[in-house]
């Protein structure tokens, strides 16, 4: 079997590594002519770290990211709503990593080059169309006229997926929920544990930050942050692009008084190296991902709001589950059906939960009931209500600690 993978992002590269580990031959076709480590920080949840660890990448991840130790929700005054341990400290068998997205992509790309050989990674190939014949041969056609033939085609080509647009020509652009995100990294002194992820505010104005490097000799570490503001839904929306520069003057005033005794938000914003602006967009869950021997994966299949830190993690889960099914099922069509039967409803549930603010709903609850802050949190919301919201999301996203620790591996059995 030879698989054609479209897209050399986190989803496509993990698919290549997972297929290779399962003994399945594949080639990755990436539109960009060269790999540029784009983006800012991203969180890899323990369910995704498990999959990458089982692909033999645990040590590389540990060297490239920060093992997140704590997660905190606070209101806009910096009053703590919820604090919990994360990763190994929360009892998972695998860490959670806060990591630079571009560094993660380079790590996966390099691992794929080492294991599959450079010839199996084909930059400068933008998918333009495809065909499949009755004999089961799938042909990918690229801009510029090149073609490639294989047995199965996996489109991991992101939120603007060419293949998704061919399947669903009337779908139109991604959907914007009115929120704009400004994302950057700043070098700053460690806060809290030095490996804490913090979310403060509420649905309409939020600040998120977490370190993505250990402190250097100057005592400073690289801190990834996201400032978010919601605008009226009829505001004309700017097309999402991870590299569009944003201007600090646009949003710094919104956070000018967010100075907590444990975190100085305006100072962190003011220390930004470069700011990127991004509208919060997703797409509706699809009624189907697969036609014949062609299927969708990652953001191409289920782009979701970056709430609950699950976009890349869910792409990694897709990749591993698809490789397992291709290795174990009696035929390619049966494997794609089994892949989609599990992963499509699972990811649709996360897309829908994120539209309702996912686990961040706990900040909205506190803001609705105590917009000016609180003396005793228990008077505003019982701890059990917060816990039910947060744990409910973990179960839905596949990151309930006990269930994840207990479930069987998705590595196919090794051939005898
Ligand atoms: C630059 C960037 C930064 C991001 N930062 C964050 C973040 O901080 N937090 C977060 O939760 N999520 C972030 N995301 C989204 C997150 O990375 C995705 O949810 C996750 O990576 C899904 O990966 P993917 O491989 O499905 O899609 P993508 O990461 O979008 O990768 C798709 C790949 O396909 C390639 N491609 C596109 N069209 C074609 C074509 N026609 N032919 C061939 N190749 C094609 C693209 O060049 C790209 O390399 C970011 C995405 C990008 C692109």
pLDDT tens figures, 181-238: 999 999 999 999 999 999 999 999 999 999 999 999 999 999 999 999 999 877 776 6
State the distance from the centre of ligand 1 to the C-alpha of 262, rounded, in angstroms. Answer: 34
Alpha carbon nearest to ligand 1 atom 12, residue = 311
pLDDT of 39 reads: 72
pLDDT of 152 reads: 98
Beta carbon of 126 within 6 Å of any ligand 1 atom: yes
Alpha carbon nearest to ligand 1 atom 24, residue = 11
Beta carbon of 38 within 6 Å of any ligand 1 atom: yes
- Residue whose CB lies within 8 A of the most ligand 1 atoms, among 109, 308, 312, for a mutation test: 312
Average pLDDT, the chain: 95
- Average pLDDT, integer, range 363-367: 96
pLDDT of 38 reads: 72
- Average pLDDT, integer, range 92-113: 96
pLDDT tens figures, 245-279: 889 999 999 999 999 999 999 999 999 988 999 89
Residue with tokens 């991902």: 289
311-328 and 332-355 helices cross at what angle (nearest 10)? 160
For the CA of 303, the nearest atom of ligand 1: 19
Percent of the chain with pLDDT over 90: 91
Beta carbon of 127 within 6 Å of any ligand 1 atom: yes
CB atoms within 10 A of CB 349: 16
pLDDT of 234 reads: 77
CB 165 within 8 A of CB 158: no
Three-state DSSP at 140 gives strand
Q: What are φ and ψ of residue 135, in 5° steps?
A: -80, -5
pTM of model > 0.75? yes
pLDDT of 242 reads: 62
pLDDT tens figures, 41-54: 999 999 999 999 99
Among the listed residues 303, 333, 334, the one whose alpha carbon sits nearest the alpha carbon of residue 318: 303
pLDDT of 48 reads: 98
């Amino acid at each position: 079997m030879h698989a054609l993978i479209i897209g050399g992002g986190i989803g496509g590269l993990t698919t290549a590594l997972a297929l290779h580990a399962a003994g399945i031959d594949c080639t990755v076709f990436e539109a960009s002519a060269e790999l540029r480590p784009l983006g800012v920080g991203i969180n890899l949840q323990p369910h995704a770290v498990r999959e990458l660890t089982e692909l033999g990448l645990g040590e590389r991840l540990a060297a490239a990211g920060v093992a997140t130790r704590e997660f905190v929700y606070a209101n806009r005054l910096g009053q703590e709503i919820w604090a919990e341990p994360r990763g190994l400290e929360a009892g998972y068998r695998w860490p959670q990593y806060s990591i630079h997205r571009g560094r993660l992509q380079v790590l996966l790309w390099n691992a794929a080059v080492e294991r599959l050989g450079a010839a199996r990674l084909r930059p400068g190939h933008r998918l333009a169309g495809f065909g499949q014949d009755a004999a089961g041969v799938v042909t990918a056609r690229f801009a510029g006229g090149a073609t490639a033939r294989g047995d199965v085609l996996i489109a991991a080509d992101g939120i603007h997926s060419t293949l998704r647009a061919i399947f669903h020509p009337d779908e139109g652009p991604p959907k914007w929920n009115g929120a704009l995100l400004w994302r950057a990294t700043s070098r700053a002194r460690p806060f809290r544990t030095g490996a804490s992820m913090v979310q403060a505010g509420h649905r309409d104005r939020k600040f998120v930050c977490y370190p993505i490097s250990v402190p250097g000799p100057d005592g400073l570490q690289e801190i990834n942050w996201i400032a978010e503001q919601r605008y009226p839904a009829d505001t004309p929306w700017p097309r999402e692009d991870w590299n569009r520069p944003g201007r600090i003057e646009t949003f710094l005033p919104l956070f000018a008084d967010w100075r907590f005794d444990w975190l100085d938000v305006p100072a962190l914003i003011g220390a930004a190296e470069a700011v990127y602006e991004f509208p919060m967009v997703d797409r509706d869950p699809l009624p189907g991902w697969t036609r014949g021997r062609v299927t969708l994966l990652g953001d191409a299949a289920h782009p979701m709001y970056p709430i609950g830190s699950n976009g890349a993690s869910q792409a990694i889960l897709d990749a591993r589950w698809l490789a397992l099914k291709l290795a174990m099922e009696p035929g390619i069509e049966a494997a794609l059906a089994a892949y989609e039967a599990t992963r499509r409803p699972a990811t649709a549930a996360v897309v829908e939960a994120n539209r309702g603010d996912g686990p961040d709903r706990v900040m909205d609850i506190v803001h609705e009931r105590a917009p000016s802050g609180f003396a005793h949190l228990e008077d505003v919301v019982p701890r059990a209500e917060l816990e039910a919201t947060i744990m409910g999301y973990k179960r839905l996203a596949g990151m309930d600690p006990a269930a994840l620790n207990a479930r069987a591996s998705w590595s196919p059995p090794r051939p005898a």
